[in-house]
């Protein structure tokens, strides 16, 4: 999940300042993280690397501050150039605030355990991704 989808994959989203609907909401509970919406939006271009060493660029644009629940030690999606950690990885679920990261063929190759896609267009890359989901049993939604 990227951005709001990342937040939704967590345990809880709190909105103490009423920036969206206000109050608290349960997440899907697929990542051991909690999010608190801030008063000001984070917007910035970033560079980072995956745990496997793939370097890439992306950008953040979000209100949330997402942290491991109760100090859990969670593998990050990426390490940013300033040394901070972004996102979370657990078996079968990944969350990040980094828009554009999944448009990088080498990042996708690492995440999905496939050879680096060699495609002539973004459409072709999406087709390869849909094929991967089909092979791995996720066919009910990937071709809609």
**Confidence grade of residue 57 (pLDDT, cut at 50, 70, 90):** very high
State the catalytic residue, choosing from 62, 69, 99, 108.
99
Annotation marks residue 108 as catalytic: no
The pLDDT score that the predictor gives to residue 96 is 96
pTM for the predicted model, two decimal places: 0.78
The token pair that represents 137 in the structure block = 């049993």
The pLDDT score that the predictor gives to residue 120 is 65
The answer, yes or no, to whether residue 78 has pLDDT greater than 60, is: yes
The pLDDT score that the predictor gives to residue 71 is 79
The pLDDT score that the predictor gives to residue 106 is 92
Annotation marks residue 69 as catalytic: no
Q: Which residues are CB-contacts of 72 (< 8 A; sequence separation ≥ 6)? A: 32
The pLDDT score that the predictor gives to residue 118 is 67
The answer, yes or no, to whether residue 130 has pLDDT greater than 90, is: no
């Amino acid at each position: 999940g990227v951005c709001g989808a990342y937040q939704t994959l967590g345990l809880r989203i709190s909105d103490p300042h009423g920036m969206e609907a206000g109050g608290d909401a349960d997440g899907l509970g697929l990542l051991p993280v909690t999010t608190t919406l801030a008063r000001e939006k984070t917007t910035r271009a970033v560079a980072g690397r995956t745990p496997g060493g793939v370097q890439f660029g992306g950008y953040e644009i979000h209100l949330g501050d997402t942290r491991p629940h109760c100090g859990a030690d969670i593998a990050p999606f990426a390490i940013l150039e300033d040394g901070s950690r972004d996102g979370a990885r657990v078996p079968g679920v990944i969350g990040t605030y980094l828009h554009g990261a999944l448009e990088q063929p080498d990042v996708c190759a690492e995440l999905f355990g496939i050879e680096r896609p060699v495609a002539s267009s973004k459409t072709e890359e999406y087709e390869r991704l849909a094929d991967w989901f089909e092979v791995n049993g996720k066919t009910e939604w990937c071709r809609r």
